[in-house]
């Protein structure tokens, strides 16, 4: 058939047969077009609002049509015979279409849409929603009746169509409800496709009068009719309440749990006074923009990257990970409970066990002899005798410490050590009679029931020794033991040719050293325990703190000596542990630091009104406010912001003194328009002091299509410089008479308008008031500023101390100089009290006494080097040895790291575990000691803190710790437990006591049937990266590899979302020491680099971001917090590519790090200037720190007695003359020139001819 013979068909979606003479038939024809109109409405609303509820409703509408299509082909019932309609008639598609629509709208309005009238007063009431539903029902009925009137369907076909539409709408509505309640709707909204299409859901599935969590009336529902012409959501909540709600939602507590919103935000208020005005539909629309704006949906999509709707903001807050419980049962503290700290003192080695057993034997022997000499106590037990009798025995043992025979002294020391260990032969495994039936968790940890009697005897024995005056006696004994001259004299008395005698001497000396350290350690631990239980029980602590010379200084000298003599055979781990616990006892722990900070820091004027006080209360430093004033005054010269706390120079952006020989970047340009790059675009530079001011810039010439070199010019080169100030005169009461209004003055007079207010925007004035009220002058900043002022006066030739000593005649007698200097020295020694709190003042005095001693401060560098050497040895072991647990080197002797990596015999598994445990204990003590010293030095004076950070930085602390984290899997280290309960100190005491169990499997050396069981088949191959476990795993460690549900180790991503399923209960099998050390190492690194650009640049140079990312995987808030703070300090100096690839880390910083009022770390104004000044600022800080030490501790800095600071550092004029070349001769040299032979050759120069002029200082 040809194309011309093919019958043609017509496409007419609106073809309806009706009677033109019947008006009802004509109206019915229009009603037949309702489904097409509804489809157009669906598409328009979806395109304009991207609302998910409308999309789902339209999807159900199309599904209903598909069902109608299928039913017609299945039933195949014809239309009425007298109507020539196309297709089948059962059921009616029009009736089914409008029945679905009316029924779904009714269900939505009555069941799902429940507005909160307290926050949306203009929402539809129940009566209005019922009326709308009724109108939809009437419309649907009219469309169904029109199909009967036009004879397109029979009554049966129309009724079946309506029934099918209603039934399908009910099924579809409740199916959508199920998807909302089960979370599938929220899951779909997170898909990348729907995010790209900007699909949103303004219908809250918890629409009620409750809050988001269902606990208060503070929920805000944004309705579809509250969208303006640009597609932006209009919230009925005021901005202050909304931002407070968002801040409260993002506030982090110590545990990563999102707390419920505070109830005061949803306090009942008048909604008509707090809400934004509703959109008025009865006013004329605004004139069209030029060019015309795009469609609302399109404009919303374009503005999406720069704005968030309220629903999207709420979704972000709700998507923050809500960890209902801790993954690890770890809580950061100064140390572990008392029994565990005592257990860490002892190793799992045979010499340790022999020392304990030898102590018991010596005590039993001497106790028996002492009882035999006392009538009535021949067979008495230690627990049965009176305290006076025990005291007499201790006094006899202390007297034997002065015996000339070394072995007699050791026997007495062993008996003393045994009593201080709790007389475990009698008390092991026993509990006290008054032990509580239901102890608290803290009581159970500090005093377990099975160890309660031994712990009680440990405390009683230490107090008994204290009453006998034994603490100073033991301290003197320790100094004698570690006296090098005395040790050399004793060694000379031994016949070195007799190997047995020499070996016995060495073993005895080692046991003597361990015994005396054990006694002192137990005394320090008991003193800490007593003070923690009762703050007033400080007698033992005062005795230890009052030892002369100080216990801390003695330990510092011994540890610092290892820098030069690392071959000394001393128990290094025990010395570091004793030093750490002594610092904790004498200085104080975290709670003491909090109390000192609360007492010493200046108070902030925080408003007590909850409406004006938000948590957290953001603060700003005086330097931040100074930079803010610079920026504001450069733009608005007529604005006078509130005065700063400290009078910084206008062009100076640092608390430190002005940088010498470092010209300003603004001054380096060649005129006003030469500023380019970051200076021109930063906005922080001021042009107030420029010679040219341009109020209105001249119009820019049209850009050339092709610039020089064939490249088009950049757009910003033709934009107005934002640094130009607003040069119009300020407005005041006379502004209406000075003609400043121009040609509009007459018109203003006619309409009665007068000028009011200021030319400075209200937002700028408000920002100035807000900023100034949030400035916090910390104690450290105040100290830094005061020393800066003193240094600048000294640099300019005005030394207040020396000037105050100047007599009127301009001269000094020698006696006057000596007396004045002696008085000045005494004044420096007697520092004024910084607080009325005696406890805090005592701790500050202890820190000052420790720092001011000639024996301690000069050894700080040696202490840092020795402690970091331990970490270096540990890191080297991780690199060189791949089969040790956690990468620790097992080749250490006496607790001090070995420098050799080769061994004669391969160590057994238990030896490796013992050595790994020893390394962990050492790392715990090293990190805890350094962190405590840093914190207390900062509490005392900022320059003490800065000096210690400089020592750590110069000793390569940063690369060392980064290398350690690079070669150590932190997540595996915190899961690796190297403690064995059966080998612990208290368990050993139990097994060797009178209360030992009848059968102990751990000591059973005979083989059992279980020994014949073959080893289990490994499901996976051992790791080959050096982080695998050893063969002899403890039961706790074996239980760690898999958790309750067989899942892998719990991890989180950068934002804190779990990457797998977390265990139901907190994990109790973890390494407290590795957790503690890792957090401390990161905390110290953060303290070293905080607010110091030069040191942050070192982290960037070391590429630390890749290494530090490991810490973000561990679900611990403290470890993640310090890791994110280190990331935050590096972000300003990282490039755009790094930021693009680490946006999740940046988001985590915003979520979890406490912000500041001026928190521009992500978009720094002038990074190039900061990088350029980083090194000079570091040098200025070091110079000011050195100058402060010379001025404050001249005796410690080896300045000669009687030499004043001006004489030592020379005065202002001498330095200036030397810079010119005229001051190269000292006074003595000039005297020699005066006394030399006049005829001596002078090489063509006179005595007043100086060297060549040095213009470097000009």
- Render pLDDT for 227-283 as a digit per residue (tens, 0 to 9): 343 343 444 445 455 444 444 544 444 444 334 444 443 444 443 344 444 444 444
Is the model more confident about 705 or about 130? Answer: 130
What confidence category does residue 491 fall into, taking pLDDT thresholds of 50, 70 and 90? low
Which tokens hold the place of 913? 């575990």
Pick 1132 or 812 by higher pLDDT: 1132
Residue 304 pLDDT: 43
Mean pLDDT of 1116-1129: 93
Position 549 scores a pLDDT of 85
CA distance to 603, 617, 618, per residue, from 606 (Å): 9, 8, 10
Split at pLDDT 50, 70, 90, the class of 566 is low
Q: Which of 335, 327, 337 is nearest to 1117 (CA)?
A: 327
**pLDDT exceeds cutoff 60 at 561:** yes
In the chain, % of residues over pLDDT 70: 62
From residue 157, alpha-carbon distances to 65, 69, 154, 160, 352 in Å are 15, 14, 5, 5, 97
Candidates 140, 163, 15, 32; CA nearest to 90 is 163
Statement: the pTM of the whole predicted model exceeds 0.75 = no
**Separation of alpha carbons 693 and 244, rounded Å:** 42
Which pLDDT score, from 0 to 100, does residue 722 have? 57
Model confidence at 1082: pLDDT above 90: yes
At 803-842, the pLDDT tens digits run: 433 434 444 344 433 443 444 444 445 567 888 888 899 9
Quote the pLDDT of residue 574: 92
What are 439's two structure tokens? 């102890």
Is the CB of residue 85 less than 8 Å from the CB of residue 152? yes
Contact, 914 vs 348, CB < 8 A?
yes
- What local confidence, expressed as pLDDT, does residue 490 receive? 59
**Average per-residue pLDDT for the chain:** 72
At residue 199, the 3 state secondary structure works out as coil
Highest mean pLDDT among 29-33, 926-930, 1203-1207: 926-930
**Average pLDDT in the 994-999 region?**
76
Please give the share of the chain, as a percent, with pLDDT higher than 90. 24
Stretch 1196-1215: mean pLDDT:
51
Whose CA is closest to 855, among 513, 561, 582?
561
Tell me what the mean pLDDT of segment 52-78 comes to: 82
Confidence at 866, pLDDT banded by 50, 70, 90? very high
User: Highest mean pLDDT: which of 202-216, 576-590, 1128-1142?
Assistant: 576-590
Higher per-residue pLDDT: 687 or 1217: 1217
The per-residue pLDDT for 213 is 41
Mean pLDDT of 286-315: 53
At 639 the pLDDT is 81
Q: What is the pLDDT of residues 465-487, one digit of tens each?
A: 999 999 999 999 999 888 765 56
Rounded CA gap, 740 and 731, in Å? 9
Structure confidence at residue 726 (pLDDT): 58
In this predicted structure, the answer to whether residue 1185 has a pLDDT above a threshold of 80 is yes
pLDDT of 147 strictly over 80: no
Q: Pick 540 or 9 by higher pLDDT.
A: 540
All structural domains of the chain with their residue ranges: 23-196, 553-593+847-899+908-978+1072-1087, 620-656+723-731+758-775, 1090-1172, 1220-1258
Q: What is the pLDDT of residue 71?
A: 84
Q: Which residue has the higher pLDDT, 252 or 546?
A: 546
What would the two tokens of residue 752 be?
């009665």
Spatial distance between the Cα atoms of 781 and 942, rounded to a whole number of angstroms: 8
Question: Phi and psi of 885, rounded to 5°?
Answer: -65, 125
Provide the β-strand partners of residue 1067: 328
Q: Which of 34-48, 577-591, 905-919, 998-1012 bottoms out in mean pLDDT, i.e. has the lowest?
A: 998-1012
Out of 820-834, 1023-1037, 1243-1257, the most confident range is: 820-834
Cα–Cα distance for residue pair 709/593, rounded to 1 Å: 64
Q: Summarize pLDDT for 500-544 with one digit per residue, the tens.
A: 777 888 888 889 999 999 999 999 999 999 999 988 889 999 999
pLDDT band at 497 (very low <50, low <70, confident <90, very high): low
Q: Which of 7-21, 51-65, 149-163, 1229-1243 has the lowest mean pLDDT?
A: 1229-1243
Bridge partners (DSSP) of residue 328 are 1067
- Give the model's pLDDT for residue 819: 42
**pLDDT beyond 80 at 200:** no
More confident residue, 189 or 392: 392
Instruction: Supply 442's token pair.
Output: 């803290």
Rounded to an integer, what distance in angstroms lies between the CA atom of residue 481 and that of residue 439? 43
User: What mean pLDDT do residues 708-736 have?
Assistant: 52
With tokens 């990312």, the residue in question is 1109
> Does pLDDT of 701 surpass 70?
no
Least reliable range by pLDDT among 263-272, 348-357, 1131-1140, 1203-1212 = 263-272
Higher pLDDT, 649 or 272: 649
Write down the pLDDT at residue 1232: 47
pLDDT at 1100: 93
Q: d(Cα 519, Cα 529) in Å, to the nearest integer?
A: 15
Report which DSSP code applies to 857. Answer: G
Q: What is the pLDDT of residues 91-145, one digit of tens each?
A: 887 887 888 888 888 888 777 776 666 556 666 677 777 788 788 888 888 887 8
Tokens at 114, concatenated: 């429940």
Cα distance between residue 963 and residue 879, in whole Å: 9
């Amino acid at each position: 058939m040809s194309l011309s013979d093919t019958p043609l068909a017509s496409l007419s979606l609106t073809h309806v047969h009706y009677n033109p003479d019947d008006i009802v038939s004509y109206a019915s024809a229009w009603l037949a077009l309702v489904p097409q109109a509804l489809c157009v409405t669906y598409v328009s609303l979806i395109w304009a609002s991207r609302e998910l509820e409308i999309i789902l409703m339209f999807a159900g509408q199309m599904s209903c049509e598909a069902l109608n299509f299928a039913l017609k082909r299945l039933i195949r019932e014809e239309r009425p015979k007298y109507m020539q309609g196309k297709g089948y008639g059962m059921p009616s598609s029009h009736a089914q279409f409008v029945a679905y629509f009316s029924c779904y709208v009714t269900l939505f309005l009555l069941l799902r849409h429940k507005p909160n009238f307290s926050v949306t007063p203009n929402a539809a009431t129940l009566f209005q929603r019922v009326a709308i539903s009724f109108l939809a029902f009437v419309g649907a009925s009219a469309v169904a009746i029109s199909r009967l009137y036009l004879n397109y369907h029979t009554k049966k076909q129309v009724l079946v169509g309506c029934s099918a539409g209603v039934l399908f709408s009910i099924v579809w509505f409740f199916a959508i409800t199920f998807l909302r309640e089960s979370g599938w709707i929220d899951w779909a909204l997170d898909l990348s496709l729907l995010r790209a299409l900007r699909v949103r859901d303004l219908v809250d599935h918890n629409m009620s009068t409750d809050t988001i969590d269902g606990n208060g009336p503070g929920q805000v529902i944004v309705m579809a009719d509250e969208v303006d012409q640009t597609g932006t959501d209009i919230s009925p909540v005021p901005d202050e309440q909304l931002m407070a709600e968002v801040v409260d939602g993002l506030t982090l507590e110590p545990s990563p749990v999102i707390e419920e919103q505070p109830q005061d935000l949803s306090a009942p208020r008048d909604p008509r006074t707090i809400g934004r005005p509703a959109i008025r539909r009865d006013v004329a629309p605004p004139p069209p923009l030029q060019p015309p704006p795009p469609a609302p949906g399109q404009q919303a999509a374009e503005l999406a990257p720069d704005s968030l709707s309220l629903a999207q903001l709420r979704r972000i807050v709700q998507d923050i990970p809500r960890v209902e419980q801790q993954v690890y049962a770890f809580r950061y503290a100064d140390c572990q409970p008392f029994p565990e700290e005592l257990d860490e003192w002892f190793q799992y080695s045979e010499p340790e066990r022999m020392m304990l057993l030898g102590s018991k034997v010596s005590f039993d022997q001497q106790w028996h002899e002492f009882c035999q000499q006392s009538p009535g106590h021949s067979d008495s037990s230690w627990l049965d005798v009176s305290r006076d009798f025990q005291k007499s025995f201790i006094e006899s043992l202390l007297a034997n410490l002065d015996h000339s025979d070394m072995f007699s002294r050791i026997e007495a020391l062993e008996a003393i050590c045994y009593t201080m260990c709790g007389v475990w032969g009698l008390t092991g495994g026993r509990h006290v009679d008054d032990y509580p039936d239901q102890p608290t968790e803290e009581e159970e940890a500090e005093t377990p029931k099975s160890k309660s009697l031994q712990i009680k005897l440990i405390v009683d024995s230490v107090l008994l020794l204290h009453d006998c005056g034994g603490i100073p006696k033991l301290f003197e004994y320790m100094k004698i033991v570690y006296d090098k001259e005395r040790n050399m004299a004793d060694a000379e008395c031994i016949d070195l040719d007799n190997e047995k005698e020499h070996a016995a001497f060495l073993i005895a000396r080692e046991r003597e050293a361990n015994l005396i350290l054990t006694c002192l350690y137990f005394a320090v631990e008991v003193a800490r325990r007593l003070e923690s239980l009762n703050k007033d029980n400080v007698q033992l602590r005062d005795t230890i703190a009052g030892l002369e010379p100080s216990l801390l200084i003695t330990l510092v000298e011994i540890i610092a000596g290892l820098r030069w003599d690392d071959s000394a055979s001393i128990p290094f781990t025990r010395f570091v542990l004793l030093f750490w616990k002594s610092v904790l006892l004498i200085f104080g722990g975290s709670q003491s630091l909090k109390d000192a900070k609360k007492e010493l820091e200046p108070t902030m004027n925080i408003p007590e009104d909850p409406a004006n006080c938000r948590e957290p209360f953001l603060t700003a430093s005086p330097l931040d406010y100074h930079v803010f004033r610079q920026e504001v005054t450069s733009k608005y010269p007529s604005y006078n912001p509130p005065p700063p706390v400290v009078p910084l120079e206008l062009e100076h952006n640092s608390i430190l003194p002005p940088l010498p020989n470092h010209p300003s970047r603004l001054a380096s340009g060649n005129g006003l328009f030469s500023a380019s790059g970051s200076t021109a675009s930063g906005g922080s530079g001021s042009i107030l002091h420029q010679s040219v001011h341009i109020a209105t810039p001249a119009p820019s010439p049209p850009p050339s299509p092709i610039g020089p070199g064939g490249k088009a010019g950049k757009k910003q080169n033709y934009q107005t410089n934002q640094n130009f100030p607003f040069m119009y005169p300020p407005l005041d009461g006379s502004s209406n008479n000075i003609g400043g209004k121009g040609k509009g003055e007459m018109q203003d007079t006619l309409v009665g308008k007068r000028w009011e207010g200021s030319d400075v925007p209200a937002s700028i004035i408000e920002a100035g008031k807000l900023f100034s009220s949030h400035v916090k002058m910390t104690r450290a900043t105040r100290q830094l500023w005061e020393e800066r002022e003193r240094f600048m006066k000294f640099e300019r030739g005005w030394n207040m101390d020396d000037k105050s000593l100047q007599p009127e005649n301009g001269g000094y007698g020698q006696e006057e100089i000596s007396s004045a200097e002696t008085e000045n020295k005494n004044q420096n020694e007697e520092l004024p009290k910084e607080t009325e709190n005696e406890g805090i003042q005592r701790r500050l005095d202890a820190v000052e006494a420790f720092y001011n001693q000639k024996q301690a401060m000069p050894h700080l560098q040696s202490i840092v080097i020795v402690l970091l050497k331990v970490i270096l040895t540990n890191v080297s072991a991780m690199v060189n040895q791949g089969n040790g647990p956690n990468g620790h080197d097992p080749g250490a002797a006496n607790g001090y790291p070995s420098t050799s990596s080769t061994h004669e015999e391969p160590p057994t598994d238990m030896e490796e575990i013992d050595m790994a445990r020893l390394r962990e204990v050492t790392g715990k003590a090293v990190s805890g000691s350094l962190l405590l010293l840093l914190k207390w030095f900062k509490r005392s004076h900022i320059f003490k803190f800065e000096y210690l950070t400089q020592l750590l930085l110069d000793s390569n602390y940063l690369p060392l710790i980064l290398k350690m984290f690079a070669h150590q899997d932190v997540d595996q280290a915190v899961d690796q437990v190297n403690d064995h309960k059966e080998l612990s100190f208290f368990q050993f005491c139990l097994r060797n006591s009178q209360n030992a169990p009848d059968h102990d499997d751990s000591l059973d050396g005979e083989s059992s049937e279980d020994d014949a069981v073959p080893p289990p088949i490994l499901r996976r191959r051992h790791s080959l990266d050096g982080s695998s476990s050893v063969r002899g795993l403890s039961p706790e460690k074996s239980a760690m590899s898999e958790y309750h549900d067989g899942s892998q180790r719990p991890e989180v991503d950068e934002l804190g979302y779990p990457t797998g399923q977390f265990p139901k209960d907190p994990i109790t099998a973890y390494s407290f020491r590795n957790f503690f050390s890792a957090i401390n190492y990161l905390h110290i690194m953060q303290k070293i680099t905080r607010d110091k650009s030069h040191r942050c640049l070192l982290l960037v140079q070391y590429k630390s971001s890749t290494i530090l990312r490991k810490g973000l995987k561990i679900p611990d808030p403290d470890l993640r917090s310090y890791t994110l703070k280190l990331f935050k300090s590096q972000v300003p100096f990282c490039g755009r590519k790094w930021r693009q690839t680490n946006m999740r880390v940046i988001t985590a910083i915003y979520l979890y790090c406490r912000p500041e009022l001026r928190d521009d770390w992500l978009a720094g104004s002038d990074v190039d200037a900061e990088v350029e000044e980083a090194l000079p600022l570091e040098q200025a800080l070091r110079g000011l720190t050195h100058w402060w030490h010379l001025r404050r501790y001249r005796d410690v800095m080896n300045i000669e007695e009687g030499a004043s600071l001006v004489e030592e550092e020379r005065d202002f004029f001498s330095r200036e003359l030397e810079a010119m070349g005229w001051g190269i001769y000292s006074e003595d040299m000039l005297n020699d020139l005066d006394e030399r032979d006049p005829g001596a050759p002078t090489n063509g120069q006179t005595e007043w001819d100086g060297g060549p002029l040095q213009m470097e200082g000009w």
